[in-house]
Structure 1
């Protein structure tokens, strides 16, 4: 029996409670963190984020209106129209006001793991039907299972481990792809000397 199964059997023998997200998650409007200039440069320090697929749009040198997130004080940025979201544990600014900055309610710290809530949100299957703000009226009302805190923490440990392994695997695959493309171009490019010499030698043998 796994550690998770043991914890569930011990701490959740009668099942688990379901709660709505707005019972444990608070939100902040991002207005004061919006970047003023879009003249981004990779040499600048502060990332400018969007809750959409792009995530990091660029880097700014603006020194004011920075949201101070960290490993010990993470947030979730939530696209209020598409419901896309990202975990953020570093300082940032944002591109627009079309998002919410989500964080754990102080009163929920003894019953909920913020990282667990993030993973639980990943399991919500919902696609907005219209172009309207989603968090307050719709998304925050979704209910998720909330087992005891030790069970949440074990679930987080397992999922974080797989996330780390997946990241390492993707990095390895990217490296192998670049290596393959390098040697493909080196060996099959008609303009390189190696290829030309090899063709000449084969022709001479005939």
Structure 2
């Protein structure tokens, strides 16, 4: 039995409590127009993994950042990712920041992992519209999330980060092996051209 199984059995014998986001978090729409942001010292969370910068900040606590618009647009509801950011940062005006009210009750990292994993079943169905598919902050407030005891939340986060690290190292190893394969393939399949038949 794993440590996580033991923690769940010990701390959640009757199941896990669920709460609506509005009951345990503060939800705020981003204020920064992404195209007009003045570059600066603070990260600017946008709808890609790549961060921009901004000269002002809106948040100063660990926060889950959820895009309010479809990743694909043009009538198709989809979300590529949910994002996590801590420290002082600005948030693009097409995202919503979801900040736990009490980090001792609900970890922002746990919330991020859960919402990112469940985005297709919990968040994408909230998107409405024809050409510009989007969701509202009010609809996000009603999303229910599990709130297991903190020991369980931290163990889940720790296990997922270990798997992420392992996955990244395997990707790096695969890239290195691919380069090695290409090098040897090139060496083994390159032959000197010799003229023959002149006797």
Task: Decide: shared fold, TM above 0.5.
Answer: yes
Alpha-carbon contact 2:18-2:146 (below 8 Å) kept? yes
Tell me the alpha carbon deviations over residues 146-188 of structure 1, each in whole angstroms, 9 at most, x when there is no partner: 1111111111111111111112222322333445456666777
TM-score by length of 1: 0.69
Query: Equivalent residues in 2 for 1:1-206 (5 A)?
Result: 1-32=1-32, 34=34, 36=36, 48-51=44-47, 54-56=48-50, 64-66=55-57, 73-82=61-70, 83=79, 84-89=81-86, 93=90, 96-105=92-101, 108-124=102-118, 125-126=121-122, 127=124, 128-130=127-129, 131=132, 133-181=134-182, 195=190, 198-201=191-194, 203-204=195-196
**For the residues of structure 1 that align with 2:117 and 2:173, how far apart are their CA atoms?**
27
Q: CA RMSD in A?
A: 3.4
Alpha-carbon contact 1:33-1:67 (below 8 Å) kept? no
Instruction: Go from structure 1 to structure 2 and tell me whether the alpha carbon gap of 1:28 and 1:68 turns closer, same or farther (over 3 Å shift).
Output: closer
Alpha-carbon contact 2:110-2:157 (below 8 Å) kept? yes
1:68 CA drift (Å): 6.7
Tell me the alpha carbon deviations over residues 63-93 of structure 1, each in whole angstroms, 9 at most, x when there is no partner: x214576xxx432222112354212246655
1:32 CA drift (Å): 4.5
Instruction: Name stretches of at least 5 consecutive residues in structure 2 with no aligned partner.
Output: 71-78
**For the residues of structure 2 that align with 1:174 and 1:46, how far apart are their CA atoms?**
33
Instruction: Go from structure 1 to structure 2 and tell me whether the alpha carbon gap of 1:122 and 1:35 turns closer, same or farther (over 3 Å shift).
Output: same
Alpha-carbon contact 2:32-2:90 (below 8 Å) kept? no
Instruction: Go from structure 1 to structure 2 and tell me whether the alpha carbon gap of 1:135 and 1:26 turns closer, same or farther (over 3 Å shift).
Output: farther
Partner of 1:191: none
Instruction: Go from structure 1 to structure 2 and tell me whether the alpha carbon gap of 1:17 and 1:92 turns closer, same or farther (over 3 Å shift).
Output: closer
**For the residues of structure 1 that align with 2:93 and 2:179, how far apart are their CA atoms?**
38
Instruction: Go from structure 1 to structure 2 and tell me whether the alpha carbon gap of 1:92 and 1:12 turns closer, same or farther (over 3 Å shift).
Output: closer
